Amino acid sequence: MGELHLENLYRNQEGNPYIWDLVVHEAVMAEPNIELFLNTDVRELDAVGDPTSRHIQSVTGWMMGSERLIRFESPLFMDCTGDGLVGFLASANYRSGREPQAEFNEPWAPEKADDITLGSTIFFHTKRSNVPVPFVRPSFAKDITQTSIPVSRILSTGDSGAKYWWIEFGGELDTIHDDSRIRDELWSAVYGIWDYIKNSGKFDADHLTLEWVGAIPGKRESRRFVGDYILTQNDVIKQKVFEDAVAYGGWMVDLHPPKGMYTEQGAAQNMYTNGIFQIPYRSLYSVNVDNLFFAGRNISASHAGFGATRVMATCAIMGEAAGTAAAMCLDLNASPRGLAQQHIQALQQQLLAQDASLIGVSNSDVNDHARIATVKASSSLQRLAIEESDTVRELDRDLAFLVPVEPSLDGIELLVDVEKDTVLEVELWATERPENYLPHRKVSEKTISLRSGTRQWITADLHWTPMAVANSCVIIRAKPGVSVHLQSQARTGTLTYVHKPERIPNQFHIDNTDAYPPAALEWDMKELPRTSVCFRMRSPTTAYASSKVTNGYARPYGGPNCWSSALLKGSQEWVELSWPQPLELSKVTVTFNDDVNEHLNNLHKWITPYRITPEMVKDYRIEAFMDGSWVVVARETNNRRRHRVHNFESSIKTSTIRLVIESTHGAAFAEVYEIRAY
């Protein structure tokens, strides 16, 4: 999924959905082992067995346009249809609607089970014309002044597409069998809303025109299959750790009112986690159909748990996990359940090897020679500091920033402006988990006496030596008359947060119980994107050491897990792997930094300020020391991909290889997550 997002960023900064479709289609067409049958609707299925143990033999589909009836036979099947038609035809156990609270003790489950689901949405896109464009209201358009929409929803001429996600209907209907009725109601609402914007006289919309209106409802929920494990709301909120984790989600539990756009309540209920949550492999295959996988919005989850897993990027990485599992089942002659019982570690290692989105599982691949290599680099960042400012911000609200601590933090300096003598409170907090970025437990606090003056480096005498590498949050409490200096450039391993002025946005009806402390509601990193507080850590750090390229983690977890050179300053930097005896190597893989914390756009929501992540390595080469000299065995220019695999035409015999970074796409440091050698 990350590769698709990066390619879309390069080609499609404005988030045009047609170009996004092109990016996805081209990626599929580039895979040599995929046969694509577009516009083929499965209508029949052959299966054998009793209700407790079914086995699919074939499915038959009708290819619209080509008028072909095609029968597909396979030892394994995967249902990613959303509505779960294949699983339904196979009599796979499934659920729809909401479970009773007593079943899983979920805070947001109703007392009694019901048929309520999340509704469907139709998007629309607009564009501005050079001349006034009239709009003639179609006869079927709804008069929205007779509904609660103008009062309870935000209408804006600058919004279209995903920002009108709340145009939702069908939660009280059958989202499968009433699909046409739901579509007609959504069309009625979309054109009614557009008529109101264009013709009510309340908006500056004379030069706006409709560019596109969806033809098919975007369905949020229908059937959810039952697997060997049902993911629940409590699993999501409590960030349950699963031994068979194969994917993760980062969305909140996001449940919408049954009446959709016609409700007078808030548009959504959101319960936030304080970090990402894991998705177990056992939720991706059927409990009673022995050769059926599923991925997407039909996985094994309760209604409330599904409220966090149903979004597209999460569905996509579940698809990669399930697809990889299916391939391994064929190779190992195993069933989906058999893979879970006997080969789950092998599945996780394969996912890591292909750079899948798997957090908190380390590389233990016995075939990867890099794991036993001695690593050194031309330079490494040893003291974390951001000293040059380009703006200042008054401490009208609490400010926080994240820094890695390895092996310890022994004081931190801040660059501030002070109007008059005062005191400033600074605190050090630990995160709850290695994958979390938010403050959870206070470690240390100091009150600092300040004298008036500008550009002062002040010292917060904070100390912490964690048991292992960890993220820490430095909180600078609000103080009128004191400003902190900022630099509008990101630094790997750091994030900056602003305390939200209102902790609980009332329109979302957020559960704020002690059981689920919503730290995510208190802090906002969107206000200062790619911005760093100016600070200096007084103690050296090993968080960016060269050994990070073989420490087993290729994504942030506890710390950045990323080797970073000292400042490039126009020179080349390298990281080197060596072994006591020469090895035969046929492949080297490299994983670069693509700033996984960047929120990338693919749906007309905003414009990312660059086409290629600045931290991405641009030009590099791989060298091997052979016969007394360095030989270039691979070279790339204008790279824009995070994960690169270099297969050699013939194996090389060497005791030392090195990755030489010649340039980046703008960052002042060379950064690499992982190197593997086979």
Q: Summarize pLDDT for 529-538 with one digit per residue, the tens.
A: 889 999 999 9
Q: Is the dihedral of CA 262, 266, 271, 275 positive or negative?
A: positive
Query: Considering only CA atoms, which of 396, 472, 470, 382 is closest in space to residue 434?
Result: 470
The per-residue pLDDT of the chain, averaged, comes to 93
pLDDT of residue 571: 79
- Cβ contacts of residue 389 below 8 Å, gap of 6+? 415, 485, 486, 487, 534
In what helix (H) or strand (E) does residue 317 lie, and over which residues does it extend?
helix 312-332
- Percent pLDDT > 70 in the chain is 97
In what helix (H) or strand (E) does residue 391 lie, and over which residues does it extend?
strand 391-395
pLDDT of residue 518: 64
Rounded-to-10 torsion of CA 434, 437, 443, 447: 160
- Is residue 182 over pLDDT 90? yes
- Is residue 61 over pLDDT 90? yes
Residue ranges with strand state E in 465-513:
470-476, 479-487, 495-499
Topology, domain 369-379+544-677:
Jelly Rolls (2.60.120)
Q: Measure Cα distances from 308 to 239, 255, 312, 507, 572 in Å.
A: 12, 9, 11, 19, 44
Q: Are 674 and 581 in contact (CB under 8 A)?
A: no
- Cβ contacts of residue 580 below 8 Å, gap of 6+? 655
Ranked by mean pLDDT, the top range of 124-128, 157-161, 264-268 is 124-128
- Is residue 142 over pLDDT 70? yes
Residue ranges with strand state E in 24-80:
40-50, 53-63, 68-73, 77-79
Residue 388, phi then psi, degrees to nearest 5:
-95, 120
Q: Are 283 and 230 in contact (CB under 8 A)?
A: yes
CA distance 315 to 309: 7
pLDDT confidence tier of residue 17, bands split at 50, 70 and 90: confident
Query: Considering only CA atoms, which of 269, 275, 300 is closest in space to residue 285?
Result: 300
For the record, the structure tokens of 652 come out as: 């090389």
- Percent pLDDT > 90 in the chain is 86
Mean pLDDT of 88-108: 97
Mean pLDDT of 287-313: 97
pLDDT confidence tier of residue 512, bands split at 50, 70 and 90: very low
For the record, the structure tokens of 367 come out as: 């075939």
- Single-letter code of the amino acid located at 552: G
pLDDT of residue 517: 52
Structural domain spans, the chain = 37-115+221-353, 120-219, 369-379+544-677, 385-537
Q: How many residues does the chain have?
A: 678
Measure the CA angle with vertex 616, ends 275 and 18; round to 5°.
Answer: 75
CA distance 186 to 170: 9
CA distance 7 to 22: 11
Q: Are 657 and 576 in contact (CB under 8 A)?
A: yes
pLDDT of residue 382: 95
Answer whether 369-379+544-677 and 385-537 agree in fold.
yes
For the record, the structure tokens of 219 come out as: 């369905």
Strands 422-430 and 470-476: antiparallel
Query: Considering only CA atoms, which of 78, 76, 438, 509 is closest in space to residue 267?
Result: 509
β-bridge mates for residue 634, sequence order: 622
What radius of gyration do the chain's Cα atoms show?
Answer: 27
Task: Please write the tens of the pLDDT for every residue from 568-616.
Answer: 877 799 999 999 999 999 999 999 999 998 888 767 777 888 999 999 9
Topology, domain 385-537:
Jelly Rolls (2.60.120)
